[in-house]
Structure 1
């Protein structure tokens, strides 16, 4: 009775699978084995077989579900409500109803309820729940913030830039769920293998049950019993789940670190890369210039920065933002400027402290004052380092110069070294001028190809593939899209354009160069885990197949071996869910 109660749902699924064109399903093997055991009067074993199979399925479901739960738990980070500002008043509304363009108030200590841009306020943002960053990031007006992150020490007003279903966390969850439905080559091979393997097991079990009694006069009950045991041993449960369990766990672990991979094929392909081509601006570098040198000529360095910042106040030009950022960082009090005028292609001029001040290109400055040879050489040396130089003139006196450059990301050198140590060739492909690219390349220790158009980047990726390399391409702009599509694996760098993110096979959401090496390492660990799983699944079956034919083990150990292998394989796969470092 116990056996029949347990067998009904299994048999029902077996019949449905047979009608759908899969007669040799795992459930069909189990049904045949259980009914056969009942016929030869092995009733206790028949009940145990069904019970243990159902327990194994339960454990398999619980373990596999953990991978899905770990990524779905991200959605719990987003608050259910938000403080919406309308007509000068604030009211609480469901976060899912926030429209793009609406403004929300985020109090200190609150979680941010939507992706957006800060329009008022400055505060430290704890991004650890989303990005894994241990140190809060200081953010001010015009900086982006993500749903689910925690506001620190000051109130912020944030303009919503994405609806609830399109915020960063929702996109991560959706991409991972879609990716888990995309099978890796190894997984497809296992599926094909199982189509032939399962009928083969049925045939071997039938031969073991029938041939010895017919040919050698063996006992029918003994050999049918052994045949049923082989049928159970041959169940491909552990083999079938060995690959998808590992891939689901890896995709989830990667997503929690900001590493998105669009399917098992991409995850598998990352570990095979032998060359990676990087874009420069916004990928290897921050994507925004910073002040690197303040060169005093006639005035002190602090005074040069103070006057330059006065001229640039209110400007949104990247170089102006760099100067103002440096002045703020150094705690310099910026004086007011009057009569500001932008001189097209030359620079900017204004009255500061009652004196006309000019900041612009060396060529434009030379039209106003004489540049001594020593100063010209210094400016040329800075240019040769890939830096943009602005010269400051106060009245009719040369005051100083400020050099700026889009600097490498903080972890770029370490990240590139990790890839090189793994035996992967790295190369920079950039549309920037050769002088600037070479200077950055020398600092990073990477081969440089500069002054490239989008089609040139695509061509170089093709040339690397012809040389026998398996090529990855990393970029963040529209001009990278053709090369991303041409590479074996295209990876978009976080903060990139939608075109780059859509074209790429994977994405490093948080812009860390070192995360590329982590992604490659995760791929290699996943493939190693899959190999271990297949070895466990087939190894246990081989051992118990021999012991069953020799009469050492029977139905009980057979089903325990099958259930045990399934649980072992799943638990081994779940090791990949551990946080990535």
Structure 2
């Protein structure tokens, strides 16, 4: 039987600014016919619904969300014809971000909440004026002012109750306001409604700021591009560029698409995308990210990704998806709040009823206290305390090239006790470099010059290293004739009338005698983990060139940051033991060498059995089994598919020190969350006591809730700015590895 198809709809929702909003929407939609899955992202402002084609339609879903008091700014629908592994095709993303800007780029006074708050405030001001001028009408004036704000709130409360959320914040507010009118406190009731609306408005402003922090990345990509077609250059919209198109990027321009350089050389400012503060010199075949800035040279670039798939678009999409993934702490708070709010209602009812019934208390006084407790108990601040901090951290990390795929990963990475690194492409750059040039009877310049002549035109990694060294020294390379590659041995040619060979020491033994001194020099270089090629000129050894895949510039420093944080580091590599030991000694890291992928997996398992929390850091290809098995898998890369889509986290610009940066970010986030929970519960506890003993009433009660919500949100937004000095155990470091 063919698998059933399903339909997924992704909606951009306006006014959904806190976790209680998400709960109401989720509860309402899950009860609708044919809906199998609902994912709500407060921070992304999105609701994703998977449904049966025979169930409710998109219009019904939109109507339900609108009935709860929210606006649907945009929706995207696509069909999932579920195949063997049940993978879906993502919805079209070509213009989603522009619509997002339209939906969430409004000024606060243009939003629904803003307009309602202004209307309520004006009505309250008029009621005060009328009450002063005509005291006999004061009660009615404040009642009408209260109704301006309360009627929309009450409608939302009733819709939420009918859709499965009876204990909503709106219901608590409606009950408290109606009760205040019942006991004659209409002035306070009107003021409390206005203060509640102000609190909601401030939540919306803070949530918009958090969304904007990551969406601002989309503005880095220019709107237009200069494309080459039929020998002419014309300007076209950047989002119309197709893969394979050739574009020109002038000095000072932003790169309009991901691509590879066809011709030209320039310094590229990658800070907007990767956080790398130092411009990077790039030439032919180098990879460019959309949104980076071309420095001083004209570049011809082949487009490698369409607008919807460029690095920035994918980073934004990954962060939005990550923000929908809840951390363990967030899931606990969600579960806690389900019992917390009904508990608050029960306590408020007991406070209002028990003292008058059993102890002869005044009904009005104790009902008033019960209503105040209802307002104090609003869980806004508590339920927003975790997701606000996580969303801010995920956004801040992404803007600096640190991708963490969800709150669970963000929380876990701060707990790691051992980091296992791959060598090639992770601790090292993945590209051999010339480290030594030795002349045996010839100058070092001649050795490099003739070697470069033989390797001209070759794309072999060792040949590329020699040619790069010659280019670095601005060396003139002589032409060759009769060039011939000898498989597994080397390359030979005639240069300046001499027969020259460049190859491995084993191959050279057949062509020329090697002296004891030369053997000693070669052995010493091999002991340092270097690959040695010998140059033979007219039957005599003329020199040696040593090459090695050198450590990344920040590798030693990044490993030290982890060690200083109490995290053990170890290298797991498939490379030969001699080379791995040499690199390990240079970096000061423990080494396990000559490992197969299954060996790396076994070692990660051993560490976990010994009680370590393991992070595996690798390139995401040959380390896939170990990355998946580790407590946290971190892929190193420059925006490639593997780096972005495998493992739990990814370092865009491949700096080893950014692993430590992720640890810092995690610890700061968890500290922020603890602060938020303490503020949310602490303020409620204080005002609960002061209300029961009669020191505070309805105004302070609602201020306790909205004030705590604003404090918690603003505290979380501090995480949008990463410090330049990481903090470990309360000790500040002056080391600056954040851009």
Say whether residues 1:122 and 2:269 are aligned partners. Answer: no
Distance 2:639 2:530 in 1: 24
Distance 2:160 2:584 in 1: 58
Say whether residues 1:320 and 2:320 are aligned partners. Answer: no
Distance 1:360 1:215 in 2: 100
Distance 1:161 1:140 in 2: 16
Mapping of residues 78-477 of structure 1, within 5 Å: 78-477=221-620
RMSD in angstroms over aligned alpha carbons?
Answer: 1.1
Highest RCO, 1 vs 2 (Cα 8 Å, sep ≥ 6): 1
Match of 2:193 in 1: 50
Structure 1 residue 348 displacement after superposition: 0.5
Structure 1 residue 477 displacement after superposition: 4.0
Structure 2 residue matching 1:511: 3-state secondary structure: coil
Distance 2:648 2:150 in 1: 44
Identify the match of residue 12 of structure 1 among 147, 155, 179.
Answer: 155
Number of equivalent positions: 581
**What do the CA deviations read for 1:203-258 (whole angstroms, capped 9, x no partner)?**
00000000000001110000000000111111111001100110010000000000
Structure 1 residue 198 displacement after superposition: 0.5
Structure 2 residue matching 1:478: 3-state secondary structure: coil
Structure 1 residue 134 displacement after superposition: 2.0
Structure 1 residue 494 displacement after superposition: 1.5
Q: TM-score, normalised by structure 2?
A: 0.78
Q: Is the 8 A contact 1:182 1:263 kept in 2?
A: yes
Distance 1:168 1:497 in 2: 8
More deviation, 196-205/447-456:
447-456
Q: TM-score, normalised by structure 1?
A: 0.99
Identify the match of residue 663 of structure 2 among 520, 544, 563.
Answer: 520
Distance 1:20 1:447 in 2: 58
Q: Which runs of 5+ in 1 are unaligned?
A: none
Match of 2:48 in 1: none
**What do the CA deviations read for 1:372-409 (whole angstroms, capped 9, x no partner)?**
01110110111111100000011112111000000000
Structure 1 residue 61 displacement after superposition: 1.2
Distance 2:383 2:620 in 1: 40
Mapping of residues 22-61 of structure 1, within 5 Å: 22-61=165-204
Structure 1 residue 303 displacement after superposition: 1.1
**What do the CA deviations read for 1:114-145 (whole angstroms, capped 9, x no partner)?**
00000111111111211222221110001000
Distance 2:517 2:179 in 1: 98
**What do the CA deviations read for 1:159-216 (whole angstroms, capped 9, x no partner)?**
0111100100001100001111111110110000000110110000000000000001
Distance 1:496 1:95 in 2: 19
More deviation, 450-459/136-145:
450-459
Q: Is the 8 A contact 1:480 1:500 kept in 2?
A: no
Say whether residues 1:550 and 2:693 are aligned partners. Answer: yes
Q: Which runs of 5+ in 2 are unaligned?
A: 1-143, 724-737
